[in-house]
Structure 1
């Protein structure tokens, strides 16, 4: 059966190990959840019963905010432990820093890896001399760099959302090798980026069908507990609906198919506009989405977060680099909302904009 644990338990790692070794399925929740979310996850856990051949349960909300419980066999994670150990370049005598909450699937993966002989999982404090690597999101890497990284930190394995070149260079200047990757709670590792673009993770085959990414991999999850989700299967192949392009072995992600913005006669892929906005000097991050508007369908809007004032006129930069249909018509400014693991929370950003909780930016 699934055993729901709170991520703030002081003996969490011991409790996860005990549940796992007893043959039950550990699932870690986030103590910051409101009561209603705890009850919803607990209800899903109970209704799932005791699924066969399942060793781990991880949470996935993507950017929607609605939690799903992803069920995994032991082998679906174990099959990638060897490749991940090589990427981290760390032994069992060393520690991997896990800045993302243990409720996130990437942290729970590293906890499972530690139990199987990977580097020891370090939660909460990362200043120990044995911390030589980290596994987290771009947001957590940025926070570690700004706070001053542990002196022994030499490798960062980064997934969850866009990793910009400036952050990678900042880490490199601090003596940290950054390895980016694309994955999903349902698919685990899909593609890895050593600095020259995303390529298939060892053991994974990639295919583009109708503009969407499909993978053939031993790392795919078994399914969901008591609810449906984006995972689809076709024989040995699986997809979660991410749009992508594959050119000369390099993978370029274009976001989920249902995030596309239909405005007048144009289809706008938010990730393409976001990529351009993040290249503006002074811009820390950006999120692009559609707002309903009569006659044109959706209006392109941008929620932006700055490190410093942009260098140059933002309107001129946008007009020079983007086609008219792709230019945001409404702008909002502030700190982007994020999931507990540090991923941009798209649904929450749109909710705040619609409810007038985010100031407008004149561009």
Structure 2
């Protein structure tokens, strides 16, 4: 059965071990969940029909913001522990800093790794962790660099969202050995980037079919509780609908097919516009999305999180680097809402804009 565990449990690791040794499946509760969100998850658990090999459950949100519970076997994580241990330098001691909350699959994976003999986890702020390595998101890495890198920190494994080249360079200049990866809660590790582009994670095969990425690996989840999500499987291959290209063995991601913006007969990939915006000095992060507008279909909109004041050259840089159809027509600024793991919460950004809760800017 699935056992809910509070994220503020005093000895969370010991509680997870106890549940697993009893043959049950732990699912970590997030104290920030609303009552309705928690009730939706409890209803899924009450009606659960678990696969025989279910060992771990994690919560992820779909594009609508509604919860999905992903189930996976023990082996689907354990088979990648050796590679991850090498990346983190697990044998040198010092533990691994885990700034994302334990309800995120990113952190829960590392806790499962610890139970199998991996590096000791250090939950919470990185600065005082004394950890030699970090497993987190680009947002967590940026926070570490902005605060001043703790002396013991020497390696970082970064996933959850795109790692900008500028952020990688800052970390490497600070003496941190950088490894980025692309993955999904349903697929676990898919591709790894040690500085020369994303290539298949050891044990993973990649295939692009009609512009959509499919993977074959031992790391794929078993499925979901309740209503399904984007995971589709076909004869050992699986996809969550990410669009991609394979060029000379390197993977180039183009975002989810359902995130594409159709505007005046043009198809705009948000991630490509976001990459340009994040390259503007003073722009910390960006989320690009479509706002319905007849007769063109949708207007391209951008929500910027800034380091300070709005850079004066945003418009000039956008006009110089993007085709007219790809240039945002509406602009908003503020703090980008994030998921438990630190990824931009795209659905929440759109909701806030449509509800008039975001600061609109003239650019």
| Smaller-chain TM-score bracket | over 0.9
> Does the 8 A contact of 1:70 with 1:223 survive in 2?
yes
Are the counterparts in 1 of residues 187 and 220 from structure 2 also a CA contact under 8 Å? yes
- 1:183 aligns to what? 183
- Please state whether the residue corresponding to 1:55 is helix, strand or coil: strand
Give the alignment of 1:213-228 within 5 angstroms: 213-228=213-228
Number of residue pairs matched by the alignment: 363
Alignment partner, residue 171 of structure 1:
171
Q: Measure the CA separation in 2 of the matches of 1:122 and 1:172.
A: 22
Give the match's secondary structure for 1:134.
strand
Alpha-carbon deviation of 1:190?
Answer: 0.2
Aligned counterparts, 1:241-252, within 5 A: 241-252=241-252
Question: 1:311 Cα deviation (Å)?
Answer: 5.3
What TM-score, normalized to structure 1?
Answer: 0.96
Structure 1 partner of 2:108: 108
Is the Cα contact below 8 Å between 2:7 and 2:102 reproduced in 1?
yes
Q: Summarize the alignment of residues 277-356 of structure 1 with structure 2, pairs less than 5 Å apart.
A: 277-309=277-309, 312-356=312-356
Aligned residue for 1:299, secondary structure, equals strand
Aligned pair 1:120/2:120, yes or no?
A: yes
Aligned-pair CA distance for 1:128: 6.0
How does 1:54-73 map onto structure 2 within 5 Å?
54-73=54-73
Q: Displacement, 1:129?
A: 7.2
Q: CA deviation at 1:317?
A: 1.4
Q: Answer whether contact 1:92 1:117 (CA < 8 A) is retained.
A: no
**Structure 1 residue 150: Cα displacement:** 2.8
CA distance in 2, matches of 1:92, 1:123: 19
Tell me by how many angstroms 1:147 deviates.
2.6
TM-score for both structures, normalised by structure 2: 0.96
Instruction: Please list, as runs of the form range in 1=range in 2, the aligned pairs for 1:80-119 lying within 5 A after superposition.
Output: 80-91=80-91, 93-119=93-119
Is this contact kept in 1: 2:93–2:132, CA < 8 A?
A: no
Residues in 2 aligned to 1:346 and 1:76: alpha-carbon distance in whole angstroms? 28
Aligned equivalent of 1:257: 257
- How far residue 130 of structure 1 moved from its aligned partner, in angstroms, is 5.2
Which ranges of structure 2 fall in alignment gaps of 5 or more residues? none
Aligned to 1:46: 46
State the shift of 1:36 in Å.
1.2
Following superposition, which runs of at least 4 residues in structure 1 exceed 6 angstroms of deviation?
none
SS at match of 1:214: strand
Q: Matched residues in 1 for 2:297 and 2:70: separation?
A: 34
SS of aligned partner of 1:91: helix
Conservation of the 8 A alpha-carbon contact between 2:51 and 2:222: no
Distance 1:175 1:215, change over 3 A: same
The gaps in structure 1 that reach 5 residues or longer are none
| CA distance in 2: counterparts of 1:160 and 1:149, whole angstroms | 21
CA distance in 2, matches of 1:200, 1:11: 36
Q: For residue 36 of structure 1, what is the aligned residue in structure 2?
A: 36
Are 2:261 and 2:298, in contact at CA under 8 Å, matched by a contact in 1? yes
1:269 aligns with 2:261: no
Contact map agreement 2:130 2:150 (CA 8 A) in 1: no
Deviations 1:206-261 (A, max 9, x none): 11111110001110000001220000011011000001111001111111100011
